[in-house]
Amino acid sequence: MKKPKLRELGEAIKAVIVGPYTSKFPAEMPEVPDRYRGKPNFDENECVGCGTCALVCPAKAITMEESAQTKLRRMVCRYDMCIFCGTCEVNCITEKGITLSHEFELSALDRKDMQEEVEKEVLLCEACDEIIGAVDHIKWVARRLGPRAFGNPLLMLTSLQSLGAADQMPRIDKEQVALKRGDRIRILCPKCRQETALVV
Ligand code: SF4
Ligand code: SF4
């Protein structure tokens, strides 16, 4: 039998005294550095459903689906496709809508279980039922603009309605009645608002 080299013998003695270098994961969860980028999590209260994170995600791990029938916008983050780059967090308009946690143990038996989602109500045009945007997003913009939001009928009416200071108007049936200039002070999509401006 070959005699162990002195260096190896030293290492063996050190390992007996200090203990192993490896962690005991999964029996014990190791601590990760503060800036570790783990699973992205939506915060339903901070996310306003603007869709920016879906636009900037380089891995297309975040998608946005919306329906005028259900009046809902659904943001889905598939963390089985995520590359943990942090671009969504950095570009989130509220800075807290999506954040990368320290979670790294993300294994699952079914990919369908590997997703995070958040749902937001959408605002529809009162004339054509097109989706204008997420209600929380519009309210967030109005809050950021403060009094200046009153220069925009959409922002003004959405804010006033959410405060209970303005009633919801009945829908305009464009098939029956043409849009009038007076309809400018209504919740309209850009296309319908343009029509009110073109009325002579
Ligand atoms: S961390 Fe990067 S890849 Fe993952 S969801 Fe965010 S933007 Fe997409
Ligand atoms: S608020 Fe942030 S997390 Fe929510 S949709 Fe916009 S960018 Fe994404």
Model pLDDT, residue 120: 98
Rounded Cα gap, residues 185 and 152, in angstroms: 9
CATH 3.30.70.3270 fits 35-123, yes or no: yes
Domain spans of the chain, in order of start:
35-123, 125-200
Compute the distance from residue 63 Cα to the ligand 1 centre, in Å: 11
Q: Report the nearest atom of ligand 2 relative to the CA of 91.
A: 7
Q: Ligand 1: residues within 6 Å at CB?
A: 40, 57, 59, 61-62, 77, 82-88
Q: pLDDT tens-digit profile of 89-148?
A: 999 999 999 999 999 999 999 999 999 999 999 999 999 999 999 999 999 999 999 999
| Distance from C-alpha of 41 to C-alpha of 89, rounded to nearest angstrom | 9
CB crowding 75-99: b at 16 or more within 10 Å, else e: bbbbbeebebbeebbeebbbeebbb
pTM of structure: 0.86
Q: What integer pLDDT is reported at residue 12 of this predicted model?
A: 87
Ligand 1 pocket test target in 43, 57, 60, 106 with most atoms within 8 Å of CB: 57
Task: Give the length of the chain.
Answer: 200
Task: Verify whether ligand 2 is closer than 6 Å to residue 50 (CB atom).
Answer: yes
Tell me what pLDDT residue 111 has: 94
The answer to whether 123 touches 133, Cβ cutoff 8 Å, is: yes
Cα 68 from Cα 122, distance rounded (Å): 8
